[in-house]
Chain A
Amino acid sequence: MLDFTPKEIIERTSGGLINPAKTCQPIGAMYAALGIHKCLPHSHGSQGCCAYHRSHLTRHFRDPILASTSSFTEGASVFGGGANLKTAIKNVFAIYNPDVMAIHTTCLTETIGDDIPAFLGQAEIPEGKIVIHANTPSYVGSHITGFSNMTRGMVNYLSEAATETKKEQVNIIPGFVNPGDMREIKRLVRAMGINFIMFPDTSGVVDSPMTGKFEMFPQGGTTVKELKDTGNSKLTIVLGSFASTDAAIALERKCKVPAKTLKTPIGVKATDEFLMTLRNTFVTEIPYELEEERGQLVDIMVDTHHQFHGKKVAIFGDPDIVIALTEFVLSLGMVPVHVLTGTPGSTFEKEVKAMLLESGLKGNVKAAGDLFQFHQWIKNEPVDLIIGNTYGKYIARAEDIPLVRVGFPILDRSVHSYMPIVGYKGAMRLVEMISNALLERQDRDAADEDFELVM
């Protein structure tokens, strides 16, 4: 398994990647667009992009992921994709009838310089229907950038400041997380009794129930009405800077809604910060229901600390998730020695290094890295645990290290997208996953005389 990855660090200067830890913008844009109620994402490019993105999202969520494409041919690539896009818009509304069509571009259409707003100006868009777009060149950033760009597109096209004074409501941009996480974040805000608009919100879209009836546009997703109303909110809370800040900045500029950027609320500290921000902004006390959950989480962390304290861990994945996870494993007394994201961005390294420094630790930290490098790090400084997405399983097997699957994509296990890793409940789940993985390993490796009933 991965036998060609040597321990000796090979300096690679080409800028190419071996086993990437990121993918391209359009899939993030497609995922974000699914978080709009009755929206059909549209991929403006070759068919293959749309097919790949739908396939990968479907594998992760195990739910229908529908999206259309401009089906480029060589002719369109030479003469521009205006005709293709206009035909697509006509057909999408005639055949599938969504409320919203959310167009994202691809490396093809960005390279040839297709001007989407100009095309939209010439397209026949049925009365009452909405078309939005985001530029998502695959050769910039990552899938997280694409999510961010489409979310900003929602603000650009739809947010309106209609009222003089802001409403007592908060916008929450959850970032590239699972619907299970979105549901949990909403539960926390509801428990606080605060009005909110979450956007995008893929819960109820990519985790839709089995009813015996297929709904092309299921019940979930942020409605256009809500998206418009985001301009009237008192505050936007950004959960994870990489995937969500740009939309909040756009909203601040466009509608004067102040924004506050927090970590993805993974772990006790980040969840505390999230709830404290809500408490301070809306002068609402944290209900006992949540205080009790927090107490349970801390109780668990104390009771089980011997299972993970001091264990070395390597974490990879999307920047917002990895930053928050690093903070959480530090709070468990674990030692993150390798921390990597495939998404570029210097603030990642800065933030993670600062957290490590605060704990008196040093580690390998890198943005825009790849899994070949991550594996080499592990070969040079072995760890007790890897936390990351499914692609980590090859390294985990090669090095015989347990893997806890967190993030996107998870292609070889199910149910994960329904279950939160955010909030106090999500943190409990993470503690369970981490300690189970470590204890399973301890059991597996124990000699008969060391194999114990009570651990």
Chain B
Amino acid sequence: MAINEKDIDAILETYPAKVKRNRKKHIIVRDSSLAHQEIEANTRTIPGVITNRGCAYAGCKGVVLGPIKDIVHITHGPVGCGYYSWLTRRNKAKTPPDGKNYLAYCVTTDMQEKDIVFGGEKKLAQVIDEVVEIFKPNAITVSATCPVGLIGDDIGAVAKAAQEKHGIPVMAFSCEGYRGVSQSAGHHIANNGVLEWMVGRGEMTEAPAKYSINILGEYNIGGDAWEIHRILEDIGYHIISVASGDGAYQDLKNAHVADLNLVQCHRSINYIAEMLEIKYGTPWLKVNFIGIEATCRSLRDMALYFGDKELIDKTEEVIARELARIEPLMEQYRKICQGKTAFCFVGGSRGHHYQKLFADLGIETVLAGYEFAHRDDYEGRQVIPHIKVDADSKNIPELHVEPDPKFFKLKISPEKAEELKKKIPLSYYAGMNIEMKDGHIIIDDMNHFETEEFIRILKPDIFASGIKDKYIPHKMGIPSKQLHNYDYSGPYAGFNGAVKFAQDVTAMFTTPAWNFITPPWKSKPLLEGQYQK
């Protein structure tokens, strides 16, 4: 069913005036006849509105830092934040030969009332000492929770002293939950730290192999990164590091030597990508390994970047082989999925990426949006200079980098880069909006009320979002797919991932349980009889 501005106004009518004015700017009906459609994003959620958004700590420690496996991540604060970000996100990691994988450990300073009153610096220093003694990690991060900044604990100073004492990097992140307006602030804070304290600490000066790359913004949920590795290594790429799924400090510190940085999740990692280009001369390429067509395109774009015939041929060979293998499998699932509609409301990039995979199955995304994205994720990076910097964004430090005197090396000439930019998204992301069809809804920070209302009007066949809203559509009889953690399945990336996704989604549509929602006595009268003449 099509929807227009009037329908949206009708939905927003329930809101108090201020909320209505605010929310209207976060919702657009796609209209390609307009030169440009602006959406409001990365602004405050109004108190009392039930949002899916989290906080800066979740974005910093939970998303970007947490998956780095050879680092012990200490949460400085009361127990909860560390507890909830412990093993809940499904960022998988294989234990390297030296055994250094600490993901199953949650370390928290468990601040008590006396720490709030008298300060928690001493306790933090002691916890760092214990961590070094027990775990002997390659590095330590300290992530701050709300009270830390409020009571003025100087975690930077504690980290610096600990680093000198123990001789390993100890990095402090001021990612208190009240910073910024969502997880996004935390991504930025973490990105700054990764660039400042991790990348470039290694001694490598040259890429160790041909076609060396970093994968940025890939978190290995359900094993996605491993499927991407399988394909890329098959083609002949050498993966230096991943930020940060199954990633390691050991690898990240040499990330500066790569020939190319791939950006999978633009929202959470674009700061690093941009800064790596300035500091080390490595351009980045926006890729999407979610969806068959998207994967093929990303592989071809990568091959074009290197422009090597051998690589281009090998890319085509792998694509042909993989397609021949999976297409017959996909076809059977497509028969069931074809013609259905989806909502795709995810965090920062999956709201866009998964539309491709749905499309591969013949499912049309009629509503899409992001929980914590910025305008550039919707409208494309060309809007970045025009984005108003508000008080909430000003609180997040901007790292100003310069070419590194030791490691800066232009990986391709500026002329070549300009030429490539005409063909591939080199150091550019065009955003979600241009790929949405006319009449479809784009919505930022969709809240509970809007979720219910849009489902009521658009009646999607499948709802894709996260754990907090998963069971709401279920109660309405609508299959609901978690695209943050894949409903404990996966991988969904690459070719094998597409098949797995198709299989899971088909199961959601066809599971017999849906048929039992209405009890038989609701449609049959209590007494049945025949009228006798």
Contacts and interface: CB of A to CB of B under 8 A. Distances in A.
Contacts of A64: 469, 471-472, 475
B48 A108 contact: no
Interface string B139-161: 00000011101110000000000
B420 interface: no
A94 B78 CA distance: 33
A293 B83 CA distance: 39
B54 A47 contact: yes
B197 interface: no
A96 to B, nearest CB: 7
A72 interface: yes
Contacts of A108: 146-147, 150, 177-178
Interface stretch (A136-144, A267-275, A311-319, A434-442): A136-144
Interface string B47-81: 11111111111100000000000000010011111
Interface in A16-30: 16-20, 22-24, 26-27
A2 B101 CA distance: 9
Interface string B464-482: 0011111111111100000
A215 B80 CA distance: 29
16 contacts: A3-B99, A18-B134, A22-B83, A48-B177, A51-B52, A51-B55, A55-B84, A56-B84, A68-B50, A70-B48, A74-B391, A76-B178, A94-B14, A94-B16, A107-B111, A111-B147
A157 interface: no
Nearest to B135: A4
Interface stretch (B26-34, B122-130, B302-310, B323-331): B122-130
Interface string A102-142: 00001110111000000000000000000000000111101
Given A15-B123, A108-B178, A211-B517, A67 B146 contact: no
B395 interface: yes
Contacts of A65: 468
B46 A48 contact: no
Contacts of A49: 55, 80, 177
A140 B112 contact: yes
Interface in A200-218: 208, 210-216
Given A48-B177, A71-B44, A77 B112 contact: no
B48 A210 contact: no
B48 A92 contact: yes
B107 interface: yes
Given A46-B177, A51-B58, A107 B145 contact: yes
Interface residues of A, number: 84
Contacts of B116: 107, 110-111, 139
Contacts of B79: 17, 20, 22-24, 138, 142, 342
Contacts of B473: 214
A210 B479 CA distance: 13
B507 to A, nearest CB: 16
Nearest to B395: A74
Contacts of B191: none
A18 B133 CA distance: 13
The 7 nearest A-B residue pairs measured at CB: A48-B55, A24-B80, A91-B48, A88-B48, A46-B177, A14-B126, A16-B127
A52 B82 CA distance: 11
Contacts of B349: none
B380 to A, nearest CB: 27
A69 B475 CA distance: 23
Contact of A90 (B16, B105, B449): B16
Contacts of A212: 475-477, 517-518
A137 B80 contact: no
Contact of A6 (B80, B134, B182, B472): B134
Contacts of A394: 104
Contacts of B151: 111
Interface string A67-95: 11111111111000000110111111011
Nearest to A106: B146
A51 B57 CA distance: 12
B515 to A, nearest CB: 11
B78 A20 contact: no
Given A51-B52, A64-B475, A212-B476, A138 B78 contact: yes
Contacts of B106: 17-20
B113 interface: yes
Contact of A77 (B113, B150, B448): B150
Nearest to B448: A66
A399 to B, nearest CB: 13
Query: Considering residues A26, A27, A210, which has the most beta carbons from chain B within 10 angstroms of its beta carbon?
Result: A210
A73 B123 contact: no
B108 A16 contact: yes
Nearest to B177: A46
Interface in B1-24: 14-16, 19
A116 B391 CA distance: 26
Given A19-B105, A65-B468, 12 more contacts: A14-B126, A18-B134, A45-B177, A55-B466, A66-B448, A69-B47, A69-B51, A71-B44, A72-B146, A76-B178, A91-B47, A95-B14
A91 B49 contact: yes
Contacts of B16: 90-91, 94-95
Nearest to A11: B130
B78 A139 contact: yes
B295 interface: no
B111 A4 contact: no
Nearest to B19: A91
A226 to B, nearest CB: 25
Contacts of B109: 14-16
B88 interface: yes
B475 A210 contact: yes
B180 to A, nearest CB: 8
Q: Which of B79, B150, B177, B474 has the most CB of A within 10 A?
A: B79
B55 A10 contact: no
Interface in A389-417: 394, 411
A59 interface: yes
A405 to B, nearest CB: 15
Contacts of A17: 79, 82, 106-108, 110
A63 interface: yes
Contact of A66 (B50, B99, B179, B470): B50
Given A15-B110, A137-B113, A58 B470 contact: yes
B494 to A, nearest CB: 26
Contacts of B317: none
A37 interface: no
Interface string B74-102: 10011111111110100000010001001
A379 interface: no
Contact of A51 (B53, B83, B112, B391): B53
**Chain B CB within 10 A, most for which of A2, A12, A68, A139:** A139
Nearest to A109: B146
B378 to A, nearest CB: 21
B115 interface: yes
Contacts of B133: 10
Interface in B181-215: 181-183
B472 to A, nearest CB: 5
Contact of A14 (B56, B130, B470, B471): B130
Contacts of A85: 47
A47 B51 contact: yes
A200 to B, nearest CB: 20
B379 to A, nearest CB: 24
A54 interface: yes
B392 interface: yes
Nearest to B186: A48
A38 B81 CA distance: 28
Contacts of B402: none
Contacts of A48: 54-58, 81, 177, 183
Contacts of B146: 45-46, 72, 77, 106-108, 111
B476 A214 contact: yes
B475 A67 contact: no
Contact of B46 (A46, A87, A208): A87
